[in-house]
Structure 1
Amino acid sequence: MNNIELIKQIVKRLKKFSWLIVIIAVLFGGLFYFIAKQSVMVFTSKSTVFPLNSSSDNSVSSSAISNILGLSDAPKSFSGEASINIVELATSRRTREAVANERVPSLKNKTIAELLLEEHNKHTGFMQNEAIDIKKLDSSDIINVASSMLKGGFTAKINKNGILELYYSNSNTDIVKKVSYVFIDKISEFYIDLKKKKAQIDYEFAVKKADSLFNVLTALDKRAIQLDETTFFTNTELKRFNIPKINLDQDKSTVQSQYYYAVNNREAAAYKLQKETPIIEPLDKPEGPYEAASKSTNMYAIIGLLLGVFIGIILVSWKIISNYLGDELNKAIEKAAKPKAEPQPEVAKV
């Protein structure tokens, strides 16, 4: 059988069993259409966040974006100059768990974790989510499961202009809105807390130092008053009365000088604390309409039909193709097994 005969037999068989190919194509098209129908429409919100730092220094303000977003050239971890990568903070487990544990008064005061699990269980079945039994989970397990769900639906990135972009996807528009706003609030809260922690420690130390020195000054004043009252009718020229007053005046002068510098340090620490506390404001709020996405039923049906036609053609013509391949293989084996003729010796010419 040559190639032309093979093609003729395949075409003849395809015409004979064309009804079978149509049935297979329709079955696959219907299956893919059903799979697409089972998919859940997902809504995605987008919000942009920008830091507003209080700084009068032009050099500082020009590098405010790169500093707050952790885009400095050299890593400076565990140092006073280290910057915080806000993308890592936004996608961290700490932030996700804080979001999952937040209650939403407008949605029956349920936590976001409970809302996510309830929404998850609304879409269970064939080619959908696997049901989660909330009753068997304790509070910590619910938070962990919800945190994993948030990880799959939340994305944070920095665009080319240095603006933080937040995306969140879910099948419920109310959950999309509330979760997006809570993410912005938690990211701002955690970032500000981390940013000002060192400045807060310095400020508290400066306040305690100034208060301590003020208490020492108060105690020295009381000793001076007591010394005056006890030496009212005494001769102040005597050393046993004069030296304690001189020493007391020297101590008070020293403490007053320290207190002066401590007050200045306290005011400087307060200014630094205010300077290190950024204000994070959303430029684009996560309000609707949201971007909706779902599997296209028409596209899936067309793909199913084409796949069904291809499988139907293979099944119908497989017998002819297998016979042809078998014949060709046998011919090759026979040709390889046939002994070659030995060359005849040449007769020398006289």
Structure 2
Amino acid sequence: MDKIPVQSDELSLKDLVGKIKEWKNYLFSKWKIIILIAFIGAALGLTYSIIKKPIYKATLSFALEDEKSGGLGGALGLASTFGLDVGGSGGGIFEGSNLTELFKSRSMVEKTLLSPVTFNGKNMSLVEMYLEINKLRDGWDKDPKYASIKFLPDADRTKFTRVQDSILGDIYGNLSKTGLSVGQKDKKISIISIDVSSTNELFAKFFCESLARQVGLFYVDTKSKKARMNMQILERQVDSVRRELNNAITGVAIANDNTFGLNPALNVKRTPSAKRQVDVQANTAILTELVKQTELAKVTLRKETPLIQVVDRPILPLAKERFGKAKGILLGGFAGGFLTIIYLMLKRLLNYFL
């Protein structure tokens, strides 16, 4: 009985080795094309490294000290008798990651872009500087829709046209995706780092510092807004009661003048003076308490106002990242040779199956 031939692993391995040698010989036969394309890729990589502008990186870090009002429970209870809440925090809406997201918000970035700077001897907004350094206005002069558009420093954002909104939106998108990074070095430490990358060294520095300033002002104002409003209400009440007290004192003097030398038996004539005296005493007591509450509100406002301390600020010259020539040659040559090999292999496979 004839035996059925069985294909052994040795034969399969020989076939595999044969195929590998066959592919190797095929690729070696195309070495001129592979080297030519690799050389072209290296030349393109070198050209790119020369044309590619260096990226400047501005970094600013600051620490937050948000002192909570403590130990004032008994004193703050007095304010409740006037229906005022001079204690309590301004809110925890900017705690943790919420604060870092505030830096990336469109509102803060647009306020920063409208901040005034001095560039090439001219006073302009950061958005105008961005348009100038990126040469975005070069093609606008021929289009009447864009030719007259200006972004003045500290301009009223609510009066912008639809076209201005669109331009600001595009710039915000570019900056937030590629040019702006905000984060905490450590979750246990309240140190925020702002990194701004740009092909222009001055723009990176100006934008980084201005963004920190805008967010800092907004943060402090929001955190202390409640305590500031309460203090202003108390100050207005103090002024109002003081005016009433002065009027009451004047009224007592006038009433005393009218009863000067009056017969002691005519007590009815002394009634206006007595009423005014009661007003003086009542207003004095109210004013005394309100002055105490006002001073307490000032202390609370100082405690509710967070301290922002800059740790490091960007200093010229900034750190820059450059695409090196050697890196461009190596990457370009490798990419050209590798893609050429893939193309030749795919081409041969298609010809084999077709």
Tell me the TM-score range normalised by the shorter chain.
0.7 to 0.9
Gaps of 5+ in 2: 1-14, 72-87, 141-145, 152-159
Which residue of structure 1 lines up, in the alignment, with residue 132 of structure 2? 118
Q: Distance in 1 between matches of 2:169 and 2:348?
A: 58
Matched, 1:291 2:305: no
Deviation at 1:240, TM superposition (A): 2.6
Give the residue type in structure 1 aligned to 2:244.
V
Residues 232 and 299 (structure 1), Cα distance of their counterparts in 2 relative to 1, 3 Å cut: same
Which residue of structure 2 lines up, in the alignment, with residue 204 of structure 1? 232
Q: Distance in 2 between matches of 1:225 and 1:283?
A: 61
Residues 318 and 109 (structure 1), Cα distance of their counterparts in 2 relative to 1, 3 Å cut: closer
Matched, 1:304 2:332: yes
Do the aligned residues in 2 keep the contact of 1:13 with 1:317 (CA within 8 Å)? no
Q: Which moved more, 1:49-58 or 1:266-275?
A: 49-58
Which residue of structure 1 lines up, in the alignment, with residue 33 of structure 2? 20
Which residue of structure 2 lines up, in the alignment, with residue 281 of structure 1? 309
Q: Deviations over 1:91-130 (max 9, x none)?
A: 22232222211222364212211111111228xxxxxxx9
Matched, 1:232 2:260: yes
Deviation at 1:171, TM superposition (A): 1.3
Q: Distance in 1 between matches of 2:296 and 2:206?
A: 40
Q: Distance in 2 between matches of 1:4 and 1:276?
A: 77
Matched, 1:190 2:199: no
Q: Distance in 1 between matches of 2:100 and 2:200?
A: 25
Matched, 1:173 2:201: yes
Q: Distance in 1 between matches of 2:229 and 2:119?
A: 38
- Residue correspondence of structure 1 range 93-132 to structure 2 within 5 A: 93-105=106-118, 107=120, 108-121=122-135
- Residue correspondence of structure 1 range 1-350 to structure 2 within 5 A: 6-7=19-20, 9-52=22-65, 80-83=89-92, 84-85=94-95, 86-105=99-118, 107=120, 108-121=122-135, 133=140, 135=147, 137-139=149-151, 140=160, 141=164, 143-151=168-176, 152-160=178-186, 161-318=189-346, 320-322=348-350, 324-325=352-353
Q: Distance in 2 between matches of 1:144 and 1:320?
A: 49
What SS is found at the alignment partner of 1:159? Answer: strand
Percent sequence identity is 21
Q: Deviations over 1:175-210 (max 9, x none)?
A: 222222222322222222222221221111111111
Residues 240 and 297 (structure 1), Cα distance of their counterparts in 2 relative to 1, 3 Å cut: same
Give the residue type in structure 1 aligned to 2:125.
T
Residues 214 and 154 (structure 1), Cα distance of their counterparts in 2 relative to 1, 3 Å cut: same
Decide which structure has the larger Cα Rg and report it: 1
Q: Which moved more, 1:203-212 or 1:293-302?
A: 293-302
Q: Distance in 1 between matches of 2:268 and 2:240?
A: 30
Residues 234 and 55 (structure 1), Cα distance of their counterparts in 2 relative to 1, 3 Å cut: same
Q: Distance in 2 between matches of 1:19 and 1:120?
A: 42
Deviation at 1:138, TM superposition (A): 4.2
Q: Which moved more, 1:30-39 or 1:272-281?
A: 30-39
Do the aligned residues in 1 keep the contact of 2:242 with 2:287 (CA within 8 Å)? yes
Which residue of structure 1 lines up, in the alignment, with residue 154 of structure 2? none
Deviation at 1:212, TM superposition (A): 0.7
Deviation at 1:291, TM superposition (A): 2.3
Deviation at 1:167, TM superposition (A): 1.0
Give the residue type in structure 2 aligned to 1:221.
I
Q: Distance in 1 between matches of 2:347 and 2:239?
A: 97
Q: Distance in 2 between matches of 1:316 and 1:223?
A: 108
Q: Distance in 1 between matches of 2:350 and 2:195?
A: 53
Do the aligned residues in 2 keep the contact of 1:9 with 1:320 (CA within 8 Å)? no
Q: CA-atom RMSD, angstroms? A: 3.3
Do the aligned residues in 1 keep the contact of 2:227 with 2:304 (CA within 8 Å)? yes
TM-score w.r.t. the length of structure 2 is 0.72
What SS is found at the alignment partner of 1:82? Answer: coil
Deviation at 1:4, TM superposition (A): 6.2
Do the aligned residues in 2 keep the contact of 1:13 with 1:316 (CA within 8 Å)? no
Which residue of structure 2 lines up, in the alignment, with residue 64 of structure 1? none
Q: Distance in 2 between matches of 1:231 and 1:201?
A: 45
Q: Which moved more, 1:104-113 or 1:217-226?
A: 104-113
Deviation at 1:144, TM superposition (A): 4.5
Give the residue type in structure 2 aligned to 1:204.
Q
Gaps of 5+ in 1: 59-78, 123-129, 327-350
Do the aligned residues in 1 keep the contact of 2:90 with 2:223 (CA within 8 Å)? no
Q: Distance in 1 between matches of 2:353 and 2:275?
A: 115
